[in-house]
Amino acid sequence: MINKNLIKNIKEKLVYKKIESPVGVLTIAATDEALKLLLMNRESGLYEDDILKLRKVDSHPILDRTERQINLYFKGKLKEFDIPLAPEGTEFQKKAWQVLRTIPYGEVYYYQQQAELVGDSRKARAVGQANSMNPIAIIIPCHRVIEKNGKLTGFAGGLNVKEYLLQLEKRYR
């Protein structure tokens, strides 16, 4: 994730908590209505100053539900999240992220396929850029998009985490 103003751009009051996962500590942040952020350990450091300005909580309905579902996901017992989401982004980014949510668990799409579903197969690079700005990793599954040659590219949590998530989903498909 590259957007330096990611947290500053969110107008609502956010609360956050950190949760343990097999891929490291995840930082999740929400309003009373929806999840706004799920940051991987590697990217949390980029926003640490902004995160520390938020109110840390031990319990919150959206965050607790997210934590439960993330835990089930990593155990292979949850294939589709039903958490209310409200990611911040441009209209194009939101459209690209909505398409990501339609990619079935355990499957991968190519950037060009995602671009076609967004409405223009020539915008593969643009959807790749939108995916890189995804503020709710795992739940908005940008890890399910790969290059046409099968190569793994671009994942804020690191390519090793992308590989782990794809293997996890393949195992429990």
Give tens-digit pLDDT for 106-140.
999 999 999 999 999 999 999 999 999 999 999 99
Q: Where are the domains of the chain?
A: 91-159
Q: Check residue 23 and give its pLDDT.
A: 96
Q: In what order do the strands lie in the sheet with 26-30?
A: 35-39, 26-30, 15-19, 55-56
Residue 42: the pLDDT is: 66
How would residue 157 be classed by pLDDT, with cut points 50, 70 and 90? confident
Q: How far apart are CA 102 and CA 123, in angstroms?
A: 18
Does residue 142 have an active-site annotation?
A: yes
Query: Which is catalytic among the residues 124, 137, 138, 142?
Result: 142
Q: Report how far residue 34's alpha carbon sits from residue 121's, in angstroms, rounded to the nearest whole number.
A: 31
- Tell me phi and psi for residue 27, to 5 degrees: -105, 125
pLDDT at residue 43 in the model: 64
CA angle, corner 143, sides to 97 and 90, nearest 5?
A: 25
Q: HSE of 99 in the Cβ direction (CA atoms, 13 Å)?
A: 24
The CATH number of domain 91-159, selected from 1.10.10.10, 3.40.50.1360, 2.40.240.10, 3.40.350.10: 1.10.10.10
Q: What is the pLDDT of residues 30-52, one digit of tens each?
A: 999 999 999 987 665 667 778 88
